[in-house]
Structure 1
Amino acid sequence: MGSSQSVEGLDLQDLSEKTGFSLEQVRNLYKRFKFLSKDEDTLSKEDFKSISNLAENPIKKQIINAFFDKRNFGHNEKGSVTEISFEQFLTVMSFFRPLRHDMTEDEREKMRREKLHFLFNMHDKDGSGTITLDEYKRVVERLVCSSGTLDIETAKAIADAAMLEVTNVTMGETGPHDGINFEDFFKILKGFELGSRMHVRFLDVDTPTLNCRK
């Protein structure tokens, strides 16, 4: 394998195929990873504090925690780690890639599901498999207002309306649930346009910021 496809024992081509990033993007992210880690092989939460574009993000803590959440590494594990490798860093970053125009509908559906599962995990902080209705409402507010075209009051109004859909989806013989699981979450939001809402710049690459304009 040529040197252009490997760095310090890492198979960049393999990482590119696993995560959907181009080789050039993988190389750039590796440089950023090494800069943040001060040339170490792993990143800690402390290293993320040097990211200036993340400092003002209202969900900075959730974003950082997502990088250390085992559920986001694709191995069906739970819990968290204190440090992450470049491959783990790249895997989490891949959730913020925009949908490509040349994707098949099956590929788009798979990626939408992965993005929504990642978003669900960010708010299912205790790993219980459910999020509260208040948490769901906040997710909708952030997704709506992250387009940058709506003010916060309009976003809240849309989120309030979205709660009616939750009732329709989760209503059972015993009445509405206090929380929703991922399958309900996916069913409600599967048609929501995520491409422009889960990638904004931070780390000098496309990633999330979920701010509203006041």
Structure 2
Amino acid sequence: MGAAQSGGQAQKYQDLADKTGFSTEQIRKLHSRFQYLTQDEDTLRREHLENLTNLALNPIKRQIIEAFFDKRNLGQNEKGCLQEIGFEEFVTVLSVFRPTKPRTAEDKKKTIKEEKLRFLFNMHDTDNDGVITLDEYRRVVEELLSSYETIEAETAKAISDAAMLEVASVTVGRMSPDEFYEGITFEQFMQILKDIEIETKMNVHFWNLDTRTMHCGK
């Protein structure tokens, strides 16, 4: 019986490895992490992530947590959020942060970069309408600046307003005269970040992963 269960678990790990690009050893470590977070329950809920030490001081903690429950990040062709997720969904979200392997083909790198940018876009498109409004963008900048104790609230607001106007000037400049400016589309978002090597910066080093902490790559 034990051997059969072990074999079944190994096959599940292999299936997830094939689906996400992780190794079976990384899947095993992630499963330990999942069990630690959920206290051996079958599903993960928001409250399981709320008290994580390495998220406590993150200025966009709320967006990061919500990203795990966003149906758009789970390969589902629908909008909205789930109340809880299983281990497969947990791994699916984390696969976005999988480091790019050496000697990855250029077309594959392009796909990986687009997937990561889509994930970031979804985090900021909080109302799921396919557009990051200037107000949504400004809130993100303000939240990021809030982690700096030396920056006062009014200064943070001024900086976020300036950032919002800069993005607007970039995107409006590419619009036709009859278009109405509503915010940043995903295509414009990709253009704004086209020079950022997001595929190498947005990752998690899984070889350092244990049941206590995650180490984010630079």
Normalised-by-shorter TM-score class? 0.7 to 0.9
| 1:80, distance to aligned residue in structure 2 (A) | 0.7
Quick one: distance in 1 between partners of 2:129 and 2:171? 19
Mapping for residues 84-103 of structure 1, pairs under 5 Å: 84-103=85-104
Unaligned runs of 5+ in 2: 145-155
1:188 aligns with 2:192: yes
How far off is 1:51 after superposition?
Answer: 1.2
Report sequence identity in percent: 47
**Change in 2 beyond 3 A, CA 1:164/1:186:** same
Quote the RMSD (CA, aligned, Å). 3.5
Q: Which residue of 2 aligns with 1:34?
A: 35
Mapped partners of 1:159, 1:196: distance in 2: 26
| 1:83 aligns to 2:81 (yes or no) | no
Q: Which runs of 5+ in 1 are unaligned?
A: 144-152, 210-214
Q: Tell me how many residue pairs correspond in the alignment.
A: 199
SS in 2 for 1:113: helix
Q: Partners of 2:22 and 2:58 in 1: how far apart?
A: 24
Q: CA separation in 2, counterparts of 1:42 and 1:133?
A: 35
AA paired with 2:61?
K
Point out the structure with the larger strand share. 1
d(CA) in 1 for partners of 2:7, 2:106: 30
User: Greater CA deviation, 30-39 or 131-140?
Assistant: 131-140
Structure with a larger share of its residues in helix: 2
Structure showing greater radius of gyration is 2
Indicate conservation of the 8 Å contact 2:99/2:203, yes or no. yes
For residues 86 and 10 of structure 1, do their structure 2 counterparts lie closer, same or farther at Cα, with a shift above 3 Å needed?
farther
- What TM-score, normalized to structure 2? 0.76
Aligned equivalents of 1:205, 1:17: Cα separation in 2: 22
Q: Distance in 2 between matches of 1:24 and 1:4?
A: 14
CA distance in 1, matches of 2:64, 2:192: 23
Decide which moves more: 23-32 or 10-19. Answer: 10-19
TM-score, normalised on structure 1?
0.77
Aligned equivalent of 1:165: 170
Cα pair distance change 1:120/1:208, threshold 3 Å: farther
Aligned to 2:202: 198
**SS of residue matched to 2:198:** coil
Q: 2:181 aligned to 155, 177, 199, which one?
A: 177
